[in-house]
Amino acid sequence: MTSTRTHRRRLSASAIALTGAIVLAGCGSLGESAADASGDGGIDSLNIIVPADPGGGWDLTGRAMQGVLQDNDLVGNAQVENVTGAGGTTGLAQLANETDENTLMVMGLVMLGAVETNQSEATLEDVTPIAELTEEALIIVAPADSPYEDVNDLIEDQTERGQGVSIAGGSAGGADHILAGLMLQNAGVEPESLNYIPYSGGGESLAALLGAKVDAGISGVAEYAAQVESGELKALGVSGEERSELMPDVPTLTEQGIDVTLTNWRGVVAPGNIDDAKADELTQLVTDMHDTEDWTGVLEENAWADAFLTGQEFDTFVDEEIIRVQQVLRDIGLVE
């Protein structure tokens, strides 16, 4: 029996508790570079799985990682593979059975909700935790010619017309869906009135908004920033505690009297069958990437907060997030 189970997060769908401390054993300490830890000159080829269509936050993250890792010679070659379906749980199932140890998959808050709403057989217990990377506020937008001027206009219309108002976003049960439900819950609107239209990639939801096929949309601030700036979309509000640096003129929900704050986080995980030495090597690789000036530039360009966590801290964080997401999904009627 290998020592892999001592390193992997022991999570279940209910995330009842941690089963013990994570043992970071193997050939390389956190003070060494990824190349030193590998003992053979580093990782020559890395596969980055993005469990969604191109154009969304996970895709932006994966491709940013690809560029920084290659530009800084941290890997010989990095390839991005889009695996679409079921809020990322199709990619999660693929990663759980992945035989290429040099593989990382982008994941985050969206996947926690998707595991619940899709009743996924693959869970985070089946993969190896590596790191949390970023945190980002969400933005609520509408087509440029929409009558809505702020989020309260959207909620008022939703209250009057119910499912006649459509809101586009990412996968069912994800951060966008949760935010839509929380806004209605705060206004005292029954969750059954929410007409949420999920898309598997940011490109599809953007097309629906630009074509005025939906009344509003929710996504990460960076994903809609260019269209808001060009006037193709109208920004109604952001979900963070403070205004976004990308769009400082857009008020928060709390500024509009809506007692809701929510940020979306993203991280990376690895195949579930790797041993401690490989997990350490991948963790160090991501740490080296995080410490580059290029990655700092990526964060600034996209207005992503640096939320870097590894090891036990990342484990604990995700355990707590699973419990929180399960409760929110029950509160807004998405799961029983």
Average pLDDT, the chain: 86
Better pLDDT: 13 or 70:
70
Domain boundary among the residues 222, 256, 290 is at 256
Domain boundary among the residues 200, 229, 256 is at 256
**Within this chain, do residues 244 and 276 fall inside the same structural domain, yes or no?**
no
**Within this chain, do residues 275 and 296 fall inside the same structural domain, yes or no?**
yes
Q: Which residues of 133-166 are buried (b: 16+ CB within 10 A; e: fewer)?
A: bbbbbbbbbbbeebebebbbbbbebbeeeeeebb
**Within this chain, do residues 104 and 145 fall inside the same structural domain, yes or no?**
no
Of all residues in the chain, what percent carry a pLDDT higher than 70? 88
Task: Tell me, yes or no, whether 80 lies in a domain.
Answer: yes
Least confident of 19-28, 43-52, 140-149, 283-292: 19-28
Question: Where does the pLDDT of residue 218 fall: very low under 50, low under 70, confident under 90, or very high at 90 and above?
Answer: very high
Q: What's the pLDDT at 183?
A: 94
Answer whether residue 32 shows pLDDT above 80.
no
**Within this chain, do residues 209 and 278 fall inside the same structural domain, yes or no?**
no
Question: Where does the pLDDT of residue 239 fall: very low under 50, low under 70, confident under 90, or very high at 90 and above?
Answer: very high
Question: Where does the pLDDT of residue 254 fall: very low under 50, low under 70, confident under 90, or very high at 90 and above?
Answer: very high
**Within this chain, do residues 116 and 9 fall inside the same structural domain, yes or no?**
yes
Mean pLDDT along residues 95-123 = 94
**Within this chain, do residues 270 and 131 fall inside the same structural domain, yes or no?**
yes
Answer whether residue 243 shows pLDDT above 50.
yes
Answer whether residue 189 shows pLDDT above 60.
yes
Answer whether residue 72 shows pLDDT above 50.
yes
**Within this chain, do residues 112 and 157 fall inside the same structural domain, yes or no?**
no
Better pLDDT: 8 or 322:
322
185/196 Cα distance (integer angstroms)? 14
Q: What is the pLDDT of residues 35-66, one digit of tens each?
A: 444 434 579 999 999 999 888 889 999 999 99
Q: What's the pLDDT at 36?
A: 42
Domain boundary among the residues 256, 289, 313 is at 256
Q: What's the pLDDT at 131?
A: 98
**Residue 24, beta-bridge partner list:** none
Q: What's the pLDDT at 19?
A: 29
Answer whether residue 232 shows pLDDT above 50.
yes
Mean pLDDT along residues 179-207 = 89
Structural domain total, the chain: 2
Answer whether residue 251 shows pLDDT above 70.
yes
> Domain containing 225: what range?
137-256
Answer whether residue 333 shows pLDDT above 90.
no
**Residue 332, beta-bridge partner list:** none
Answer whether residue 15 shows pLDDT above 60.
no
Whichever domain contains 105, its CATH number is 3.40.190.150
Q: What is the pLDDT of residues 126-140, one digit of tens each?
A: 999 999 999 999 999
82/247 Cα distance (integer angstroms)? 29
The 10 Å Cβ neighbour count of residue 78 is 21
Question: Where does the pLDDT of residue 280 fall: very low under 50, low under 70, confident under 90, or very high at 90 and above?
Answer: very high
**Within this chain, do residues 163 and 128 fall inside the same structural domain, yes or no?**
no
Answer whether residue 3 shows pLDDT above 60.
no
Q: What is the pLDDT of residues 297-332, one digit of tens each?
A: 999 998 899 999 998 899 889 888 889 899 889 888
Task: Tell me, yes or no, whether 336 lies in a domain.
Answer: no
Q: What's the pLDDT at 24?
A: 28
**Within this chain, do residues 158 and 246 fall inside the same structural domain, yes or no?**
yes
Q: Which residues of 280-294 are buried (b: 16+ CB within 10 A; e: fewer)?
A: bbbbbbbbbbbeeee
**Within this chain, do residues 79 and 226 fall inside the same structural domain, yes or no?**
no
Look at residues 310, 315, 263 and name the one whose alpha carbon lies nearest to residue 290.
Answer: 310
246/303 Cα distance (integer angstroms)? 6
Whichever domain contains 149, its CATH number is 3.40.190.10
Mean pLDDT along residues 205-223 = 94
Answer whether residue 33 shows pLDDT above 80.
no
